[in-house]
Amino acid sequence: MTGTALLALVAAGSAFGAHRLTRARWTWRTPRTAILLWQALGLAWGLASIGTLLGFGVAPYGQGVIGGVIRFFADPHALSSIRVASVAAGLTFMLMLIVMLLVAIAGVVRARRRHRALLALVAHGDPEIPGTLVLDHPAAAAYCVPGVRSPKVVVSAGTLELLGPPELAAVLDHERAHVRERHDLVLLPFTSLRRVFPQAGIISRTLDAVELLVEMAADDRARRHRPAKELATALLRFAAARPAPTPAGTLGVAGVAAEESSPILVRVRRLLSPAPLPRPLRGAMLAAATLVAVLPLVLYAIPA
């Protein structure tokens, strides 16, 4: 059971790594690389967990997970009831993860379709901020509605009153970064995992950590085009104004926890005092993420 034992170790190690990463602060120094590491850990945990169940079930065949599963469908009667149950559990778990991901995608698509229809009725363009829709609402709000064909950046009338032109330009650059880098797709697997395990604290903390990294990545993109002080000032103004909740399926400049000051203050301090990781360390993190993601697939082929 060498391959299966290693898969179990990878699954446990991925869960432990996720637990430690939720408490890490060095990830804030390189959010894009940290997001890739998070994605690798999530993929490794899912593949290794499924592989452990399947590998234990098909171990008597001695052909590894992939070969064993193929053999199982050809000759399931060679296994004991416990082994068959383990294979069934692995396949069920895999199907559940896929279904919940598809359900999450469908839910987001429906929410965005409804919100776009609403925007068509209540929002309008403004020649002073081309490519942006203005929502006639007094509360502060700035968010994007991601999409392949028709992404939209939306600001409220309250935001136009709250921010000066430089701060508004920085906020718009932040939202366009969300659209350009498809941060909604980054978050989707983690939100679907929370649907599968709604009571799991580690998954909720993981989602919170990745959401903050996504906001930091958009901050970094905006900082390429505007002075960091402009976006920092805008974030503080948003926090003081207690912005309206971001609609479902969208990404807002103040993040998902706008009612809490600490994420905003963390981002402001980071904008004003950047401390990026050295390039060699970022390269090592990328190599580690690649290894973590690929290792379970390699172990699938190791005979028991």
pLDDT at 256 over 60: no
Across the chain, the runs of DSSP E, i.e. the strands, are: 123-125, 132-135, 142-145, 152-156, 251-252
Q: How confident is the model at residue 219 (pLDDT cuts 50, 70, 90)?
A: very high
Give the list of residues 6+ apart from residue 112 with CB closer than 8 angstroms, or none: 145, 146, 147, 249, 250
Which amino acid would we find at residue 304?
A: A
Q: What is the pLDDT of residues 261-297, one digit of tens each?
A: 478 889 999 999 989 889 999 999 999 999 999 999 9
Residue 78's Cβ-side half-sphere holds a number of Cα atoms within 13 Å equal to 13
pLDDT at 54 over 60: yes
Give the list of residues 6+ apart from residue 52 with CB closer than 8 angstroms, or none: 4, 7, 8, 11, 90
Q: How many CB atoms lie within 10 A of CB 262?
A: 10
pLDDT at 258 over 50: no
296 and 46 Cβ atoms separated by less than 8 Å: no
End-to-end, the C-alpha distance of the chain in Å comes to 4
Give the dihedral of Cα atoms 109, 111, 117, 120; nearest 10 deg: -100
Least confident segment among 84-98, 125-139, 210-224: 125-139
Q: Can you give the pLDDT at residue 159?
A: 92
Farthest CA pair distance, the chain: 73
Q: List b or e across 229-248, with b for residues whose CB sees 16 or more CB atoms inside 10 angstroms.
A: ebbbbbbbbbbebebbebbe
All structural domains of the chain with their residue ranges: 1-79+279-304, 113-273
Mean of the per-residue pLDDT values of the chain: 89
Q: How many CB atoms lie within 10 A of CB 226?
A: 18
Q: Can you give the pLDDT at residue 246?
A: 77
Reading across the β-sheet that carries 132-135, which strands appear in turn?
Answer: 123-125, 132-135, 152-156, 142-145, 251-252
Q: What is the pLDDT of residues 135-148, one digit of tens each?
A: 998 888 899 999 87
Least confident segment among 20-29, 63-72, 166-175, 249-258: 249-258
Q: Can you give the pLDDT at residue 78?
A: 84
